[in-house]
Structure 1
Amino acid sequence: MYEERPARLAGAFVWRRDTGTAGAAGPGTRPVLPDGCMDLIWADGRLLVAGPDTTAYVPRDPAAHYAGVRFAPGEAPGVLGVEASALRDRRVDLAELWGARTARGLADRVSGAPDRAAALEELVLRRAAEAPAPDPLLRAVVARLRAGRPVGATADELGIGARQLHRRSLAAFGYGPKTLARILRLRRALDLVTSGVPAAEAAARAGCTDQAHLAREMRSLTGLTVGGYVAGPRSA
């Protein structure tokens, strides 16, 4: 079972997932697709940080119970104190970032809470209140790329050079703006397809040149097919 809700932190979501039993991933495990985001995750008593993905992720040894906060693209580095590129395609114990004693204490606090997802959200809110304010330029980059604006036009409109945009994107998103744009475009298309829009129409509305372009992007960024993903389990 998977459920999520908007968090009290701007642009973030709080989620929880119960698989019933811990152990090797089974055939019903739904892959996590790239979305430009990072997560702070409680998993059976451990606190983990999920870095930005560049391909589909399937846990090899999933926990039975999860709670998580998924940050908006570019927001996690300021809260967690680590550049996104350092965690690209990685899941790391929070102890690597905040120290074993601090991470263990926080994990125990979340584990003992009646609502672990809410406790994790409170942890993030306290940390965010002490962190530097989010960079409005990076938020503007995400908004423009999410709306389908080209990377070059986005840089020009925001008055930032291509090299600087790439450097700041690596730190905030974990990859360059072109990769982020591709990921956001793919997510737009998949949201449309899963809501019942035919794939060819979804591809056009999302900004792909045609359905074949969407299929290539899906394969390149996830290793999956659009049809296979849509027909898969809905547990996550």
Structure 2
Amino acid sequence: MYVESAPDPALEGRVACLWVQEARSPLVQRVVPDGCVDLIWGPDGPHVAGPDTGPFLAELRPGERLTGLRFRPGAVGGVFGVPVEWLRDQRVPLADLPGVEVRGPADLQRATAELLRAAPEPDAAAGPIAAALRRGAAVGSVAWDLGLSERQLNRRCVRAFGYGPKVLQRVVRFQRALTLARSGLRLADVAAASGYADQAHMANDVRRLAGVPMARLMEAEPA
């Protein structure tokens, strides 16, 4: 069972949701890239799940429960005291990160609010960058609209998202395609609406990011 809920209004500018995952039987949960960073409390204590560039398989035993808080893409900033790119494709115990302490799942929102007050603000351009790429804008066009060179855009994306704009573009396009596919749209129409050259292009990207075809992802419980 996977359930999401809205964060406290004071956090919603930077936090996408709170979530709970419970395993009623042995479970291998496929986590796919979404541009986000999560703070998670599990059986082994709290850890940070960095921005993924490929699938991650989380194994849960019957009765195990994960409680998480998901930052919006580009919104984590310096909350965890290390550059976001250091967390890329990593699951890092909170104890290994400097100056961060959370006592239990009930403290997630309170502790996050305290961390946000002490941390530097994220790049204000992060949201517009992700939104433009999600709409299908080319990387060069996004840089031009922001008055940046492509090299400057790359540096700012790495600092904000943990990877460059071309990876971010693939991730947000994939997430849009997954949402449309789950709505019941035909896959050929999903590919066109999401900005892929064709359905084969989408299929290749989905396999690279998720490790399985789109049909398998549509069958699985979201996470």
TM over 0.5: yes
1:97 Cα offset (Å): 0.6
Shift in Å at residue 73 of structure 1? 1.1
2:118 to 126, 130, 136: 130
Letter in 2 for 1:146: R
- Relative to the length of structure 2, the TM-score reads 0.90
How far apart are residue 213 of structure 1 and its match? 1.0
Q: Which amino acid aligns with 2:40?
A: I
CA contact (8 A) 1:20 1:65 kept: no
Residue 138 of structure 2 is matched in structure 1 by 150
Q: CA deviation at 1:196?
A: 0.8
- Distance (whole Å) between structure 2 residues aligned to residue 154 and residue 204 of structure 1: 21
CA distance in 2, matches of 1:222, 1:177: 19
Deviation at 1:44, TM superposition (A): 2.3
Output the CA distance in 2 between the equivalents of 1:188 and 1:11: 20
How is 1:32-47 mapped onto 2 (pairs within 5 angstroms)? 32-44=31-43, 46-47=45-46
Matches within 5 A, 1:162-201: 162-201=150-189
How far does residue 164 in structure 1 lie from its aligned partner after superposition? 1.3
- 1:1-236 paired onto structure 2 within 5 Å: 1-8=1-8, 9=11, 10-12=13-15, 13-20=17-24, 26=26, 28-44=27-43, 46-60=45-59, 64-98=64-98, 103=101, 106-107=102-103, 110=104, 116=106, 119-232=107-220, 234=221, 236=223
Residue identity matched to 1:173? F
Asked whether the equivalents of residues 29 and 235 of structure 1 are also in contact (C-alpha less than 8 Å), the reply is no
Structure 2: gaps of 5 or more residues: none
The structure whose RCO (Cα within 8 Å, separation 6+) is larger is 1
Q: Give distance in 2, aligned partners of 1:37 and 1:167.
A: 18
How far apart are the structure 2 equivalents of 1:81 and 1:97? 7
State how many pairs are aligned: 218
Percentage of pairs with the same residue: 39
State the distance in 2 between where 1:187 and 1:229 align. Answer: 11
Structure having the higher strand fraction is: 2
1:209 Cα deviation from its structure 2 partner: 1.2
Residue 77 of structure 2 aligns with an amino acid whose one-letter code is P
Structure 1 residue ranges, 4+ long, deviating more than 3 angstroms after superposition: 60-63
Alpha-carbon distance, 1:126 to partner: 1.7
The alpha carbon displacement at 1:139 in A equals 2.0
The structure richer in helix per residue is 1
**RMSD of the alignment, in Å?**
1.9
Q: Deviations for 1:160-213, whole angstroms, at most 9, x for unmatched residues?
A: 111111112112211110100011001000100011111111111011111111
The DSSP-based 3-state class of the residue aligned with 1:126 is helix
Does structure 2 conserve the Cα–Cα contact (< 8 Å) formed by 1:11 and 1:72? Answer: yes
Q: Which runs of 5+ in 1 are unaligned?
A: none
Q: TM-score, structure 1 length as denominator?
A: 0.86
Deviations 1:104-140 (A, max 9, x none): xx23xx25xxxx3xx3122111211222223211222
